[in-house]
Amino acid sequence: MPDSQAAGGNISTPIELRAVGISKSFGERTVLRGISLQAHRGDLVCIVGGSGSGKTVLMHILAGLIEPDTGTVEAADHSTPGAPLVRLFELDRDQLERVRLSWAVVFQRNALFSGSVRENIALLLREHAAMSTDDTRELTESQITDLARRSLIDAALDPDEVLDKDRDTLSGGMAKRVAIARAIAIDPALIFYDEPTTGLDPVISGRIHELVFNTHHQPRSGGARRTSIIVTHDKDLLRRLEPRVVMLYEGRAIFDGPYRSFVSIREGPAGEYLRAMPVLQSRVI
């Protein structure tokens, strides 16, 4: 698909991720039906839709965690000069892991490991350094601690307060911020978020809205722009971010465009979904 014809994105900047014709079924249940979208460097994209519309499945495919039945996913390989696009599901395991070195995923349930906040961030940093082909990426303990402290500060947390806290003592909101801090620590080019405010009260959700906003707009080292892809049903998060919105309905992308155009829809599945969003949100508080 030529760039000018691909769905969405700022065509004046390089493509970070592109999916074409993605379909996926589980047994006799078809979840995704021929979805195409792309994100350019610096794009902020929210994927929305009702329960069972395929949002999380699509994100997992885009992140290389699930292989589609049909279609292709291409991503920028930042380990290669010029960051050329490569087809994710034609790569071997080592090649895929090298591409994913530039990504971070914040899962709905945070996916923090047993142990302290320091150990959670340190483990990811060590794994990231071990997989890097750059010998200068070997990190000392003091460097790891410094990176962990800086990432916690970026996530609006006090390192002196939380660095040595055990995962099991963290509140839901603090665990989410630690998960985002862990993602920030590796300075990713692309961050995926899966339902970042599900299960949180309105006050804590508001703090996560600000953190996601600030993380997206904070330049990477060297000044490069970050790309964010967020699965959400949180109307207030959409209002805060004003992102590009992709809406899924019955496995298809029925809308791909600016936030202000999306919220102006009054009819059809998108209009019904918008009217239901506050109800959907209130059910998970």
> Which amino acid is located at 211 in the chain?
L
Contact between residue 56 and residue 31 where contact means Cβ atoms under 8 Å apart: no
3-state secondary structure at position 132: coil
d(CA 196, CA 208) in angstroms, rounded, equals 7
d(CA 100, CA 166) in angstroms, rounded, equals 27
List all residues 6 or more positions away from 149 whose beta carbon is below 8 Å from its beta carbon: 159, 163
The first and second tokens of residue 108, run together, are 């709905």
Stretch (H or E) spanning 100: helix 93-100
pLDDT band at residue 132 under the 50/70/90 scheme = low
Tens digit of each residue's pLDDT (9 = 90 or more) over 107-127: 877 678 888 999 989 888 888
Contact between residue 179 and residue 196 where contact means Cβ atoms under 8 Å apart: no
Q: Indicate whether 45 pLDDT > 50.
A: yes
List all residues 6 or more positions away from 19 whose beta carbon is below 8 Å from its beta carbon: 35, 36, 37, 38, 58, 61, 62, 71, 72, 73, 74
Tens digit of each residue's pLDDT (9 = 90 or more) over 4-31: 334 455 556 799 999 999 999 999 999 9
User: Which one has a higher pLDDT value, 144 or 33?
Assistant: 33
pLDDT band at residue 278 under the 50/70/90 scheme = low
> How far, rounded to the nearest angstrom, does the alpha carbon of residue 261 sit from its chain's CA centroid?
23
Nearest to 231 by CA among 63, 14, 26: 63
**Pseudo-torsion of CA 193, 198, 200, 205, nearest 10°?**
50
- The burial of 23, by beta-carbon neighbours within 10 Å (0-12 exposed, 13-18 middle, 19 or more buried), is given as middle
Tracing tokens 């600000």 back to the chain, one arrives at 210
From the CA atom positions of the chain, what is the Rg in Å?
19
3-state secondary structure at position 157: coil
**DSSP H helical segments within 37-84, as ranges?**
55-62
Contact between residue 137 and residue 128 where contact means Cβ atoms under 8 Å apart: yes
Distances (CA, A) of 6 to 10, 214, 219, 269: 11, 28, 26, 23
**Would you state the pLDDT for residue 10?**
57
d(CA 210, CA 188) in angstroms, rounded, equals 18
Q: What is the mean pLDDT of residues 52-76?
A: 95
